[in-house]
Structure 1
Amino acid sequence: MRRFPAVLAIAALAATAGLAASGGPSPVAAAAATPPNIVFVLVDDLAWNLVQYMPSVKRLQSDGTTFTDYTVADSLCCPSRSSIFTGKFPHDTGVFTNESPDGGFAVFHDRGNEAHTFATALQAQGYTTAFMGKYLNGYLPKDLYTPPGWTEWYGAGNAYGEYDYNLNENGTLVHYGDTDADYLTDVVGAKGRSFIKRTAAAHKPFLLEISTFAPHAPFTPARSDLDKFPGLTAPHTPAWDTRPTGAPAWLAGNGPLTAAEIEKINTDYRKRAQAVQAVDRMITGLRQQLTDSGVTGSTYVVFSSDNGFHMGDHRLVEGKQTAFDHDVVVPLVIAGPNVPGAVSRPQAVQNIDLAPTFQRIGGAPVAGDVDGRSLLTLASGGQTAPWRTASLIEHHGPGASPDDPDVQDARNGMPTTYAALRTATYTYVEYDDGEHEYYDRTTDPYQLTNAYDTLPAARRTTLHADLNALQHCHTDTTCWAAGHTS
């Protein structure tokens, strides 16, 4: 077997410390024999307010580290997933939307991004890799295309309804119907457990990504969960049904929520809570399989979402794509070797950091044109040098074709093209049409007062320069420097 000196050191340290994702002792022999495994569960449109209904995720938090200031570089499915795969901002992947010519699978593929993902890097290191579930918007399983880097591939296309869908299963198109056994989250969960069992038995390091469609609209729960949470209604934060003062033009026309809109929001929020029950059971099953296979102590388990979701906040009905926290700040939990339990990290981390993290876990080199940085040292509590202080959010809009599953109207939230700078204390937004937003989140945590007009000219100049530097960074070195704002 190929040697993995960097990751062997990590595994040996984890074995010595006796740290495991389940809180129990690590099997020393297994840790010393192979580099760590990775199980990555990525869910679709999950906001922080759903985690309270996911006991398995809360157990994962108890067993690992939660990043409380984790943001996505674009609050939209395909751009966010593109950044996760590559470790690059949208301005470097070229994927800003879900469809060509400004995004989608075709742009990601045609620009050569698929040749430079964490999957290709880990496969080159000897990992057995598997992908299951939702890939990128525009991917068609009927084409029987498998992207590079994946040893096993179970890719779906438009399977948001969770029933009656097709999977490209390693080059064979397989149809799933409308029975309880066909529910997609359960299907990929079973395939994930099988993959772990088979690969662990072969004593090979593995990477497994399971990417669910849940809880994305139409918010389809498993039938066994349809009676859960009776009477549950959407949470009312101070931003509920409240338009910010000084709102940009795309939002300024939104009036109060209607009774019908509120009723739909409450119904859909309950369905979303029901839909994540299957995801939560899936996580329990995956972690149990890791234990049964004897690889818990040598496996990192990572849970996250591609973007957040608003439901009634800021007089927006249901959607994403904005620079408000409810759309860009999402869960990230990491448990595994040498990762302390029940710990929170406040640093400004982003989805561009996941690819280099996975590559460092596997001992793979990280190219200089990757914009993110590995979180491995942060997760293990060893970070002493200052982390970046600012995150970049990029978005192109408005508009999408009617068949885009994320199409939004002005009522749902349809911002024009913008770039945003987010730090621990403020959010600054520049729109291509010349408008600006500035929210001081130390005094206005729910972003209800656009204070841009009150800023001194010198402060505006500094904010623009800081944002511009991040928008035009293209390497680890330049993006890291630009992320340390003045």
Structure 2
Amino acid sequence: MYRHRRLGTARPPLVIALLLALTLGLAGCLGVNLSPFGGGASPSVTPVPKKPNIVFVLTDDLSWDLVPHMRRVQDMRGKGTTFDRFVVADSLCCTSRATIFTGRYPHNTGVRTNFPPDGGYGVFKARGGEQASFAPALRGAGYRTALMGKYMNGYLPADTQGGPRPYVPPGWDEWAVTGNGYPEYDYNLNENGRLVHYGSRPQDYLTDVLANKSVDFIQRAAADRKPFFLQVATFAPHGPFVPAPRHAAAFPQLTAPRPPSFNEADNADKPSWLRSRPRLRKPGIGRIDAGFRDRVRMVQSVDELIGRIQQTLANTGHDRDTYLVFGSDNGFHLGQYRLAGGKMTAYDTDIRVPFVVTGPGVPAGRTTDALTQNTDIAPTFLELAGVPVPPATDGRSLVPFLRGKDPDDWRNVALIEHVKPPPSREDPDRQDSGPGAPPTYNALRTTNELYVEYVNGEREYYDLARHPHALDNRAKAIPPQRARELSGLMYALTRCAGAKCHTAGRTR
């Protein structure tokens, strides 16, 4: 039988617990914050200063149709807030990541493709992207920062850039990054300036290696009094679609989703680059189904990575003062509009990506349909950390949404801009950079519209409220007044910078 020990006049533990519960309950009713972490305070009471930890899981080419197969992400949606209309400013790896790091549109980062002269890591660095990234600001604010996995296309982990050791960009306390982790095996990681090779053993599977390193970082960071920021950037589920051995035979009967846009029956209204595509045949559809199965298999390891991070945060006592953010650099089409597999289009398959946040004060089970973008990620991290957002930032902080608010002045127009990259044997994304790829374009995504202007003069316009799968191109039937409005918005947004982007993205 368990007995309480009485020491002097000390109250029994049960009484202490009851008194503590009553005190905290009254504090909550009165809007007083007694937590040492500053969470849950009433807006009328100044909370105890606290810089929350932030963990950002950034995936590569992960589309919305994979999320139903990710149990931990579904759990995050139940415990946090989902941004249902989160779109990227360009559906291409390097351009999207440059925007994520800086909060700037591609026309302001200068990163328009994956490789020079129009983009890639070299252009990002040469144009001051590393200094403009949120990492140096977070580190300067006292954060312990770490980046693991993928950085930018064109980054070489062995490159010393004139120094004695492999180069680590400014702003990162810990660095475990490779340039080519797409096959998931046989890669080199730049581990804090030391090159380490990983081979072809099951334990070398890159997503699992990143999970191990993430857990180790959180455990070590938990012992410090400094807040921490961790970005773990998987190469999964990017092609060549290599799942971990333990998942290689899973989902044997799974097939790719068949939305109305799948192998579109009539594409006579589409622009010429797409109109020329023949319908997919049975062998091609079989390959699409096989690719989708392997993509689902790949994200099982990503989902397990998230679960391990969640468990480690709980074990270290940081599950209540840490924001866990899940997202993707771009989406991925697989059979829609007769396209076998890839990205770079302005359709929702490619530009609309999952974005889910859990953490202190974040409303549970909430979905917002506000039009949000990857331009908003950097200012969100900075505001959470109490760091001023630079005036050159094109995006806006999502923190109001994480507090359950819906700003009245939020954007209702988002810009998507894309420069067609030249074919490159070195580019893993080259599947959409050949002759049948979309030409250079600019696009506007409003709450219920998609408007595209191609460099060759062709146009697309879809009323997504009536036709959510973008099957009925009504570009030739846009009312003249609306056509002028869209043209004016396009002109303003493609030339905006900083606060002018906030103004241009909001129409009456």
Question: How does the TM-score come out when normalised to structure 2?
Answer: 0.89
Conserved? CA contact 1:11–1:298, under 8 Å: no
By how many angstroms is 1:13 displaced? 4.8
Looking at structure 1, the residues matched to 415 and 201 of structure 2 have their Cα atoms a distance apart, in angstroms, of: 43
- Letter of the 2:149 partner, please give it: G
State the match for 1:426 in structure 2.
Answer: 449
Tell me which residue corresponds to 1:229: 251
Is the counterpart of residue 70 in structure 1 residue 92 in structure 2? Answer: no
Q: How does 1:135-146 map to 2 (within 5 A)?
A: 135-143=151-159, 144-146=166-168
Given that 2:38 and 2:48 are in contact with CA atoms closer than 8 Å, whether structure 1 keeps it comes out as no
Runs of 5+ in structure 1 lacking a partner? 1-7, 18-30
Tell whether the 8 Å contact from 2:97 to 2:152 is kept in structure 1 after alignment.
yes
The yes-or-no answer on 1:129 pairing with 2:182 is no
Larger RCO, structure (CA 8 Å, separation 6 or more): 1
Do the aligned residues in 2 keep the contact of 1:429 with 1:437 (CA within 8 Å)? yes
Contact 1:239 1:446 in 2 (8 A): yes
Shift of 1:314: 0.4
Question: Are 2:185 and 2:199, in contact at CA under 8 Å, matched by a contact in 1?
Answer: yes
1:320 corresponds to: 343
Q: Does 1:338 pair with 2:331?
A: no
C-alpha distance 314-462 of structure 1, shift in aligned 2 (>3 A) = same
Rate the CA distance shift 1:162–1:127 in 2: closer, same or farther, 3 A.
same
SS in 1 for 2:416: strand
Query: CA 1:211–1:9 in structure 2 vs 1: closer, same or farther (change >3 Å)?
Result: farther
Matched, 1:148 2:164: no
What letter corresponds to residue 403 of structure 1 in structure 2? E
Instruction: Indicate if the aligned counterparts of 2:344 and 2:432 stay in contact, CA closer than 8 A.
Output: no
Partner of 1:23: none
Report the equivalent of 2:417. Answer: 394
2: CA distance, partners of 1:232 / 1:410: 29
CA distance in 2, matches of 1:9, 1:354: 30
Match of 2:474 in 1: 451
Q: Secondary structure at the match of 1:385?
A: coil
CA deviations on 1:424-458 (whole Å, 9 max, x unpaired) are 11000011111111011111110011101011323
Q: Determine if the alignment matches structure 1 residue 209 to structure 2 residue 231.
A: yes
What residue identity is the alignment partner of 2:451? Y
Matched ranges for 1:235-314 at <5 A: 235-242=257-264, 244-314=267-337
Would you say 1:200 and 2:222 are equivalent positions?
yes
Q: What is the CA distance between 1:409 and its match in structure 2?
A: 4.7
**Structure 1 match to 2:201:** 179
- Whether 1:59 and 2:75 are equivalent positions in the alignment is yes
Across the aligned residues of Structure 1 and Structure 2, the Cα RMSD in angstroms comes to 1.8
Q: 1:370 aligns with which of 393, 409, 420?
A: 393
Aligned counterpart in structure 2 of residue 379 of structure 1, from 402, 421, 443: 402
Aligned to 2:439: 416
Percent identity over the alignment? 48
Instruction: Please tell me whether the aligned partners of residues 34 and 204 of structure 1 are also in contact (alpha carbons under 8 angstroms).
Output: no
2:113–2:421 contact (8 Å) kept in structure 1: no
How far the C-alpha of 1:402 sits from its partner, in A, is: 1.9
Aligned-partner SS, 2:39: helix
Query: Residue type matched to 1:354 in 2?
Result: I
Among candidates 39, 48, 51, match of residue 14 of structure 1: 39
1:116 and 1:409 mapped to 2: Cα distance? 30
**Which residue of 1 is the match for residue 61 of structure 2?**
45
Which of 1 and 2 has greater Rg?
A: 2
- Asked whether the equivalents of residues 143 and 228 of structure 2 are also in contact (C-alpha less than 8 Å), the reply is yes
Q: What secondary structure sits across from 2:61 in the alignment?
A: coil
Q: TM-score, normalised to structure 1's length?
A: 0.93
Name the CA distance, whole Å, in 1 between partners of 2:502 and 2:368: 18
Q: 1:399 to 1:260 in 2, by over 3 A?
A: farther
| Structure 1 partner of 2:426 | 403
Supply the distance in 1 between the matched residues of 2:483 and 2:407 (Cα, whole angstroms). 31
Q: Which residue of 1 aligns with 2:20?
A: none
Give deviations 1:352-396, integer Å, cap 9, x for gaps. 000000000101111101000000111211234231101110100
Which residue identity lines up with residue 73 of structure 2 in the other structure?
V
| Alpha-carbon shift at residue 467 of structure 1 (Å) | 1.1
2:184 equivalent to 1:162: yes
Describe the shift of the 1:38–1:313 C-alpha distance in structure 2 as closer, same or farther (beyond 3 A): same
Taking a change above 3 Å as real, the CA distance of residues 260 and 64 of structure 1, as seen in their structure-2 partners, is same
Match of 1:24?
Answer: none
In 2, the alpha carbon distance for the partners of 1:409 and 1:374 equals 32
For structure 2, the residue ranges without an aligned partner over 5 or more in a row are: 1-32, 160-165
Report the more deviating stretch, 392-401 or 165-174. Answer: 392-401
